[in-house]
Amino acid sequence: MFDEKNIQFLISKGISLYKLKKFSEAVDYFNKAIKINPLYCTAWCNKGVALDKLGQHNEALDCFNEAIKINPEFEDAWCNKGITFDKLGRYDEEMDCFNEAIKINPFYYRSWYYKGAALIELGQVKEAKRCYDIALKIQKKSSKFNRMRLPFIKAQFLNKI
């Protein structure tokens, strides 16, 4: 049996270090959580995000793939995998990831937002606007924190067209 409290502590500590931009240290804590429970997909996903910030994109993809192998319905892993593919210039795979995340959870605004950003980069402005509109509609129904991000998303879209 796994020590769930210890795993949660390690994940929380890793997230705190990540927020402080201490990505290597965050990876260490996510690794400790994975050592306790190698099937904890959130730890794999968080490790992937931190590795991506360190520029270790292929290693990040390995982590997202592991999270997806554990839980194929983990939309956050699919979305983050798409973000990493973007950094590697692998746009078809990026779009596949965002589409998969949207298929799993059509109310996950991050997938719609990042799909819109990818479409802007590909010059598909009309489809990008549709994705941004969906992301904004979802966010309006979300928490106060998310609603505070609405002007940021709108400004980002307007700057990209």
Question: Which domains, and CATH codes, for the chain?
Answer: 1-71 (1.25.40.10), 85-161 (1.25.40.10)
Query: What is the per-residue pLDDT across 97-147, written as a single tens digit (0 to 9) for each?
Result: 999 999 999 999 999 999 999 999 888 999 999 999 999 888 876 654 455
User: What's residue 4's pLDDT?
Assistant: 75
Query: Which residue in 37, 45, 78, 80 sits closest to 63, CA to CA?
Result: 45
Given the structure tokens 């879209």, which residue do they identify? Answer: 157
Token digits for 31? 């690794």
Cβ atoms within 10 Å of 22's Cβ, excluding its own: 15
pTM (two decimals): 0.85
